Structure 1
Amino acid sequence: MRKVSTELSQAPEHRSERPRWRHVRPLLADLAVVLAGAWLVWQAGVVGQRLLDRGVNLFLDFPPLFASWAPHTGPGTIPAILLALTVVLGGPAVAARLRWAPLLVVTYLTTLAWTVAMTLIDGWRHGVLDKLAGNKNYLAEIDRVDSVPVMLSNFTDNILLGPGSWAVHVAGHPPGALLVYVWMDRIGLGGVVAGAALCVLVGATVGVGIGATLRALGEEHVARKVLPFTVLMPGVVWVGVSTDGLFAGVLASGVALLACGTTRRGILGDLAALAGGLLLGLTLYLSYGLVLAGLLPLAVLALTRRLRPSLAAVLGVLTVAGLFTAAGFRWWEGYELLTVRYYQGIASDRPYSYFVWANLACLVLATGPAVLAGLRRLAAAPRSLAIGARLLTSATVLAVAIADLSGMSKAEVERIWLPFSLWLVLPCALLPQRQVKWWLAAQALLALLINHLLRTRW
């Protein structure tokens, strides 16, 4: 009897250890993946510095990032820390309980405030004024555009390096981005401050677009889990102030409208799909690389499989493409010339063999440890994530892989890949609820460290 009673008293202890270990083992695997990501970043830094020491010109001061080592604080430091603490401590509860429409408003305003605060860590001049100014950026070319039709018809004539060629950023993109700033200038909103405000205001909509897309696909539960992570993505460091943040916002809104349109019956659904198609068509003329972003709307169409709104969306894309083509700019010709111009500049010196893997280190820094942990959990159990989020994540990973292997993305991808990388937040929905605050804290800490220790440039 004594032996039996002893065994019975010990049995509950053994039973309680199994569930505890069942929770600990996945966490250890998550941490192992995060450490592997940190090792990749460290290796990219070490190898990059060795290449610089050997005289290989990477055109980077702090490889693999386009930044320089400059520990500093600024007016945005305290607000950024307070906002991060607020989201870490209260974000998950608010996302779980607040009604949907107010939740999207709160998400946008919090993202906007966090982006502005992070930008002002670098101060008003470097954080805002200098980012879009200079002779390499779009604003430097506004005065050259006396006539929009003439500019569009002659745009490709000035892509290749030579007398009268476009500034680097203008030559490296279709004319849509330049047109945005030209139109702003024509209505009296020209200048660096207005341009920076546009980038931040639109870039802050990415989380709303991701959330709206998931809800339209019937996965609101996933959206509520990932919305706090969309706010604290380290990539926000490069959203403010960067035209790539603007691109990311336009893309996310286009995908969201497409998802809403293809899941809603009637004329309103068709109009939403048409609006989504127009925005997605515009993305093709904002950046050549966003042709890869077409994998996201294709994923939405594969999930919804409704003919009429899909045709409305295609009509929207073709309308934008037709207008640009009729005005004299042919996308395929511009891209062909870009591939030549790309290797007329610093890309010819930047070694593919280094950046093809160092780019991934930049991606790790732009997405953060929570995304690595989420992707690991998704790889371990693909069906644990809802099918819409799973397919959108797969589309994003494929887009990044193609961009990386193409050789047209050598460095600066922490900024250039923002339209893709911000969608990698979706697997964060798989992180256990009791760990969410710690993962959010890790995201915020990484973003704060990057912004306080480095001077980012573009």
Structure 2
Amino acid sequence: MRTAVETAPRSAPRDRWRPAVPDVLVVAAAVVFAVAMWRWGRWLIDERGYDLFVFFPPLLAGFEPHTGPGTVPAIVVAALVVVFGPPLATRLRRRVLFPLTWAASFAWITSLALVDGWQRGIADRLATDQEYLHDVGRVDGIGQMLSIFSEHILTAGQQPGQQWWWATHVAAHPPGAFAVFIGLDRIGLSGGGWAGMVVIAVGASAAVATAVTLWALGAERWARAALPFAVLFPGAVWMGVAADGLFAAVLAWGVALLALAATATTSARAWLLGVAAGLVLVLSLYLNYGLVLAGLLPLVVLVLTRRTAVVVPALLGGGGGVVAAFTLAGFWWYEGYEKLRLIYAASIASERPYWYFVFANLAAVGYVLGPAVLAGLRRLGTRPRSAAAPLALLVAAGVAAMLVANLSGMSKGEVERIWLPFAIWVVQATALLPRSQVRVWLAAQAVLALGVNHLLSMPW
């Protein structure tokens, strides 16, 4: 009889650790595709004169082999997760497993960031002239910032008479993201070091949030199987320290809270969790306009649980409160989004050819997901629907969000960080990998992340 997390029939003893030939072919095809996108990108830059603003196509990175203080810790963390992660994920109780998962994810993201050193890898990331901390000194507080935010999104050329405008990442996001860093500054956690560590700490919890969601939906088996892969996520390279890692975690916890609300055993608990879910989910829309594409994730929860009643407290309670608070403070979400479209049309994106990035984005997200996820996606259609429905639908929602973003033309490049909120759900496909091959695939994930982080230099 199979164990709780066994996901495939046993192979012959001498071959059971070896990845199946179709899995290897899928990964090999992805490698060839990535190389082709690199070659096409270099041709566009060198021969056609395009300013793609991606120096190692399709990634916004430069080739710069290096090591740093995080090199040894990153290797140690990877080795520990590869060796001990699978059995611990199988055996530990939630009250131990979830904190341990967060700690391991935090250690992995932090050690990868420290490969570039404390200053370059963490403290300076959010303090450049394009990032959030650049504008913290311009405002007196969150309330005052919200009242003037919309007035300073566009540049002088886009809005005649404008004297100054927000830094690139402040203007390109709703004010909720900026409010996070203003809040940190006002409570004494000033500077890039604190901001970077908070982003890492919150982002590291995304692995737990996805597991909580699957667990609540009755898919404990799949949640346990995917946890080691959620920790050794190659996208951790960009979660330390891009604010998109924080966005990913907030969205994930909103989905998790909705799943808990929809499966609550009492009406009072369902309402309380529903209000919390609505608050967090709608708040995520005030962190990043693009997270509206993640709407399929909460919809999956409602379809699977058939508890649509939780929509009432979620929208009228928590979600409605968030919208009312931002609107009354002076920021209207749709107005901000329309101004973002003007900014995007005048930005470097206008120089980036649409058709190249439609394909190159897929190659870029391959670096984020890693070979194990690609192998898991191949297996997604082979599982019985009743057994893997929560897993399959959540993964499909993440894939769909990326595909819509890709075709929209609003994601031409830099998706290795921008799509992190969607990618963490696609990682759950690794739960379908054969138990006997888990360590091989985990090692492959770690090697990819370590290779990217040590061979390339990136602004996040």
Partner AA of 2:265 in structure 1: R
- Cα gap change, 1:33/1:385 in structure 2, threshold over 3 Å: closer, same or farther? farther
Aligned equivalent of 1:205: 205
Partners of 2:405 and 2:411 within 8 A in 1: yes
State the shift of 1:113 in Å. Answer: 0.8
Partners of 1:359 and 1:411 within 8 A in 2: yes
After TM superposition, list the pairs within 5 Å mapping 1:76-87 onto structure 2. 76-87=70-81
Q: Distance in 1 between matches of 2:188 and 2:102?
A: 26
State the shift of 1:380 in Å. Answer: 4.2
Aligned equivalent of 1:148: 142
Partners of 2:17 and 2:437 within 8 A in 1: no
State the shift of 1:381 in Å. Answer: 4.4
Partner AA of 1:260 in structure 2: L
Partners of 1:262 and 1:270 within 8 A in 2: no
Partner AA of 2:260 in structure 1: C
Kindly provide the CA deviation profile for residues 243-273 of structure 1, in whole angstroms up to 9, marking residues without a partner as x.
0011011111111111111101221232122
Q: Is structure 2 residue 450 aligned with structure 1 residue 414?
A: no
Aligned equivalent of 2:369: 367
Partner AA of 1:347 in structure 2: A
- Cα gap change, 1:55/1:259 in structure 2, threshold over 3 Å: closer, same or farther? same
Aligned equivalent of 2:357: 355
State the shift of 1:22 in Å. Answer: 11
Q: Distance in 1 between matches of 2:186 and 2:113?
A: 27
The counterpart of 2:390, out of the listed 379, 388, 407, is 388
Aligned equivalent of 2:118: 124
Q: What SS does the aligned partner of 1:343 have?
A: helix
Kindly provide the CA deviation profile for residues 118-147 of structure 1, in whole angstroms up to 9, marking residues without a partner as x.
110111121012211111001011111125
Aligned equivalent of 1:214: 214
Aligned equivalent of 2:170: 170
Kindly provide the CA deviation profile for residues 298-327 of structure 1, in whole angstroms up to 9, marking residues without a partner as x.
111111122443311122112111111111
Aligned equivalent of 1:288: 289
- Cα gap change, 1:384/1:425 in structure 2, threshold over 3 Å: closer, same or farther? farther
Structure (1 or 2) with the larger CA radius of gyration = 1
Partner AA of 1:42 in structure 2: V
Q: Distance in 1 between matches of 2:204 and 2:245?
A: 8
Deviating above 4 A after TM superposition, structure 1's stretches of 4 or more consecutive aligned residues are 18-26
Aligned equivalent of 2:38: 45
Aligned equivalent of 2:89: 95
Q: Distance in 1 between matches of 2:219 and 2:382?
A: 21
Q: How many residues align?
A: 441
Partner AA of 1:311 in structure 2: V
Q: Distance in 2 between matches of 1:177 and 1:393?
A: 26
Kindly provide the CA deviation profile for residues 312-371 of structure 1, in whole angstroms up to 9, marking residues without a partner as x.
112211211111111111111111111111111111111111111100011100000000
- Greater RCO, 1 or 2 (C-alpha within 8 Å, sep 6+): 2
State the shift of 1:383 in Å. Answer: 2.8
- Cα gap change, 1:323/1:249 in structure 2, threshold over 3 Å: closer, same or farther? same
Q: What SS does the aligned partner of 1:160 have?
A: coil
Aligned equivalent of 1:228: 228
Kindly provide the CA deviation profile for residues 80-127 of structure 1, in whole angstroms up to 9, marking residues without a partner as x.
111111111111111011112201111111111111111101111210
After TM superposition, list the pairs within 5 Å mapping 1:53-92 onto structure 2. 53=46, 54-92=48-86
- Cα gap change, 1:164/1:429 in structure 2, threshold over 3 Å: closer, same or farther? same
- Cα gap change, 1:55/1:382 in structure 2, threshold over 3 Å: closer, same or farther? farther
After TM superposition, list the pairs within 5 Å mapping 1:172-191 onto structure 2. 172-191=172-191
Aligned equivalent of 1:342: 344
Q: Distance in 2 between matches of 1:178 and 1:50?
A: 38
**What's the TM-score once normalised by structure 1's chain length?**
0.93
- Cα gap change, 1:27/1:233 in structure 2, threshold over 3 Å: closer, same or farther? same
**What's the TM-score once normalised by structure 2's chain length?**
0.93
Aligned equivalent of 1:399: 401
State the shift of 1:23 in Å. Answer: 7.3
Aligned equivalent of 2:307: 306
CA RMSD of aligned residues (A): 1.8
Aligned equivalent of 1:274: 275
Partners of 1:45 and 1:62 within 8 A in 2: yes
Partners of 2:86 and 2:225 within 8 A in 1: yes
Percent of paired sites with the same residue: 52
The counterpart of 1:332, out of the listed 315, 331, 334, is 334
Q: Compare the two structures and name the one with the higher helix fraction.
A: 1
